[in-house]
Every structure is written in structure tokens, then in C-alpha cells.
Amino acid sequence: MQEGSFIWSHLEKQHRAVDKWVDWVCLIGLLLAAVLLFSINLGGLPLRDWDEGTVAHVAREIWSAPSGSMHWLYPTLGGKPYHNKPPLMHLLIAWTYSLGGVNEWTTRLPGAILTAFSVPLLYCIGREIFRQRWAAIYSALIYLTMLPVVRHGRLAMLDGAVVSFLMVMMLCVLRSRRDLRYCLGIGIGFGLICLTQGLLGGLLGAIAIVFLFWDTPRLLTSYYFWTAILIGSLPVACWYSAQLWHYGYTFAQVGLFNQSLNRIGAAVEGDAEPPWYYIIELLKWTWPWLIFLPQAARLIWENRNLSWAKFILVWSGVFLLIISLLGTKLPWYVFPIYPSLALALGAQLAETENSPLLSSYPRSWVTGFSILAVVASASSIYFSGGTTPKTDLQLIFAAVAVTMTLAAILAERGDGQFLKILFWGSYISLVLLMKSNYWVWELWQAYPVKPVAAMIAQVNPSVEQIYTSFPRHRPSLDFYSDRTIIPASVGELQYYWHYNGQPYFLLNASTLKELKLESIKKVGEAEGWMLITKDAGRL
């Protein structure tokens, strides 16, 4: 071997070693930052209605089931079969219950940790598609500091886990183009998605198929690829087969049609929205990063023949089209688009930083930061007034205002340090929000659930079903009270009172006055809600 060739080989090995060391430092740093943000004050607020209350209730019944009862395979909700989703996430939460007891922290911990791992996973995806490390770092930091990512990732829901498994699948898709052994990771990631989200996980698999069809069609004809998909799908097929064998037509109607296929073409439980609903959601919640979107979109379109641009276009475009055409629309359905959006914005920031700067940054950036600074300042002043100032919100908006003001000043001067201010300020603002009592703001839309549930548990009514005048079902109340609380109209309440032997009603004062019931016995009261039943001594 020639001397020059030997020296070059030695230097190349050293460079690779340093490169790997830097990658590991970035991965560990991103993971630590994500774990802190996703775990701080995790159990400080009650569980939210709908997904959180339902998931926790199913997990608790799995955890409390007798040994050998097969509840892990055939989960129940309120003692009745639960056909909505496969129980992978519920099993993880039940496992944390066995370690730390039943509480809000253990309920939210599995989803929060899985979502935290999605941050370094996005960095790995960025390293696969971008030549520059900074594009991957910016992408991961943008994703980490997106409000909907942090908020929904911390909740006891399925979507954070689904996105983490989606990233595993997409990372393996990228690496399988040069090493077919990664096809097995594609199958495993796809299987985990379907074991969490059900058959609708197949819609996320379509993203990978469309990308490969456009970028690497030879992989779609590979025996290894389809064998890996088959291996990953096998546990999913086994679970669905077990449900069909055990429940028969009931599961086919409820689990397959109503909760999966029916959501594609019809609005389930009244969750109907126009096709542009998710575009509005993105416009509402992805600031300040949305300021960079016009330039990012142009950069991607100009490079649409390159693999990285194809990847982002397919992930964003195909997924947004799919969820926009779904009959059922919920805010958290858009969660899987945030990683691709972060990749697009990260590519633009890296491109901007590496281009020779002859003047200040685009005026739209300075204007956007300035508007956000004014809005945040006004909000901070607003929450500092009144008889009871909300100091937490005042501090949060003040942090946002300072961040946006400094970013606007530095961007106006053409100083690239505005990006560091933007990342640090956004991260600190989110930490302050997560430490406060406002990060689950849906809790303020109804009465506090824990005092009412504690009142019901304390009096320990002898029935499993309680009827309430509250107009909508609250799964969190079911979970905390360990009862099924059923909403009912005034007419239904009057019927149950007269024809049920010993009914229990959860009513507010106005409904109780309207009903004009006789022989009432008040069992308990909390937060303006009374638990009543018939007074047997006065009948």
C-alpha cells in the first residue's frame, strides 16, 4: 500500500470515529432535554376526558384482573369488552401500575417516555437524509419545541407512541435502501403501529410505500421487504383473529367496522369537520416555527428530485391528504405530520445559515417575531391584572415575549444568533408551561372531576351505574369514581326515577329543581353537584 493511501485511510477512520462520537453526544443531549420536558410535573393534573380517562380505565382493569384471566388479551372497560384499539399501550400502563401504583404519573409515563425517544429518532432520520448535521439538529430541536408535540406526547394517549413507532419504521425504510437487513425494522415498526392504533395504522404504512415507489421502487420487489412486513403483521393478525374467535360478530361490527373502517368515511361520535380542518390546526399551534414555512416549502419544491425532498413531500403530503379525507377528525390525528414538518423547517434553517448573508433576513421573519412579541406581551399584561392575577400565565407569556423580541432584533440585524435565542426561549417557555396547572387546559371546560369522584367513592353507592344531568360522558369521572356515569336528559331522569328501584343521580341544583322529584335522599355533595337517591323511609 502506498504511504499516501495509508495516511488517508488512517485519517478517514479518525474522522469517522469523531463523527460517531459527535452523533452520540447529540443523541444523548436531545434525549435528556426531551425526557426533562416530557416528564416534568407529569402527574400534577387530573386525567383528561376521553382518551386519557378511557386508556387509564382499561389499563387499571388489566392490572387488577386475577392472574390467568386473560384480560391482557381480552381487555374490558367498565367490565364490558373493549373493542376500540389493540391493548399494547394499555399493557404498558398496566405494567407501570404494577411498579408505581395507580396515579396520574404512572398513567402518563409510558407515552411520555416513548414520545421523548422520538426526538433523537428524528435526529437519526435527519442524519440519513441530510448531508449536514446541523439540518438534523435543527429538525430535532424544532420538533422538541412544538407545543402540540409536547402537550399530546405527555398525555396518556396512543398518538405519541404511534409517532415513535412511525419514526422507527421510516428510519429503517431509509436505511434499507443500502442494507436490506433493515427491512425487518420496517416490519416491526409497522406491527407496533398497528398493535397500538389498530387497522388505521395501515394508513401510515402507505406513506412508506408511496415514498419507496417514487424514490427506490426496486425495494418494493424485494423478497426481504415483504417477508419483513409479513413478520411484523403476524402479531397483529393473531390478535385480531383471537378477538374474532372469542367475540365473533360483535367484534367484527364494533372493533373492525365502527371503530376502524367507519372512521374513514363517516364521522364517529359527531366529530365531523371540513377538509381544511387540519390546515387550521397547523396554523393555530405551530408558531413560531410556521414563520419559516414559506421559504421551506420553496426549498423543498426546488429540490423535489432529491431523495430528502421526496421523503418530506410524501410524508407531509400523503398523510395530510389521508387525514383530511377521513370522516372523523380530531385535533390529535395530525400528530404524525409534525416530524416531517420539523424536517422541512430544519432543512431551511440549515440552508439559511450556510448561505452567504449579504443583508438582513427576510422581512417576513422579523415581522412575524414582532407580532408574536406584541401578542405575548399583551397576554402577559392581561393575566397580570384582575383581582386574582394568574402569575403562572403571566410568566409564561413574558418568557415568550422576551424570546420573540430578542429574535426580532437579532434577525433585523442579520445576526444568526437569533436561532439560539429562539430555541432556548421556546424550550424554557414550554418548561414553564408544563410546570404550571394550565398545560391540560381542557380541564377548565367542565367541573373539577376529582372532588366529585372522591365524593362518590366516599359514599360508596351500591350500584355500578349512576345517571347524571351533565350533557356529555366523562371517562375521567368513570375512572376516578370506579363507576359508570351515564348522561341522561330530564325526561330520561324522570323515567329512571319512577321505574328503577333505587336509582342514583348526579345532579346540579338547577336540574334538581326542574325535576321536582319526591322522596329524595341526598347522599353527598361536591363542586355544586349532588348525589341523590330515593329515601326508602319516605316511600
Contact in structure between 110 and 93 (CB atoms under 8 Å): yes
Contact in structure between 140 and 30 (CB atoms under 8 Å): yes
Give the DSSP letter of residue 530. E
d(CA 325, CA 284): 20
Beta bridge partners of 81: 76
Give the pLDDT score at 267: 53
What cell does 259 get?
371503530
Amino acid at site 38: F
d(CA 209, CA 211): 5
d(CA 135, CA 149): 19
SS3 77: strand
SS3 486: strand
Angle value at C-alpha 316, between 311 and 320, nearest 5 degrees: 150
Contact in structure between 389 and 383 (CB atoms under 8 Å): yes
Give the pLDDT score at 297: 94
* Start-to-end CA span in the chain (Å): 105
Instruction: Identify the CA nearest to 506 among candidates 447, 427, 432, 431.
Output: 447
Angle value at C-alpha 453, between 447 and 454, nearest 5 degrees: 120
Give the pLDDT score at 157: 92
Give the pLDDT score at 260: 62
d(CA 192, CA 236): 8
Give the pLDDT score at 536: 63
Give the pLDDT score at 272: 65
Sign of the alpha-carbon dihedral angle for 421, 426, 427, 433: positive
- Please count the helices (runs of H) and the strands (runs of E) in the chain: 23, 7
d(CA 339, CA 319): 12
Give the pLDDT score at 324: 86
Contact in structure between 162 and 197 (CB atoms under 8 Å): yes
| 335 CB-side CA count, 13 A | 27
* Angle, in degrees to the nearest 10, between helices 147-154 and 133-144: 60
- Compute the CA torsion angle 455, 460, 463, 467 (nearest 10 deg): -10
Give the pLDDT score at 1: 42
d(CA 213, CA 194): 22
Mode of pairing for the β-strands spanning 484-487 and 465-468: parallel
Decide: residue 355, CB within 10 A, 0-12 exposed, 13-18 middle, 19+ buried: exposed
Chain segment 237-269, per-residue pLDDT in tens: 999 999 999 888 888 887 777 666 555 555 555
Number of residues that make up the chain: 539
* Angle, in degrees to the nearest 10, between helices 418-435 and 133-144: 30
d(CA 77, CA 91): 14
Q: Give the position of cell 401578542.
A: 375
d(CA 314, CA 205): 12
Instruction: Identify the CA nearest to 164 among candidates 108, 121, 110.
Output: 121
Residues in the chain, pLDDT under 70: 1-18, 258-272, 355-360, 386-387, 536-539
Angle value at C-alpha 483, between 481 and 488, nearest 5 degrees: 110
Mode of pairing for the β-strands spanning 504-508 and 529-534: antiparallel
What cell does 516 get?
321536582
Instruction: Identify the CA nearest to 77 among candidates 57, 102, 97, 91.
Output: 57
d(CA 176, CA 181): 7
Cis bond upstream, residue 288 (ω within 30): yes
Beta bridge partners of 522: 532
Instruction: Identify the CA nearest to 337 among candidates 392, 377, 387, 277.
Output: 277
Decide: residue 452, CB within 10 A, 0-12 exposed, 13-18 middle, 19+ buried: buried
Give the DSSP letter of residue 41. T
SS3 40: coil
d(CA 23, CA 18): 9
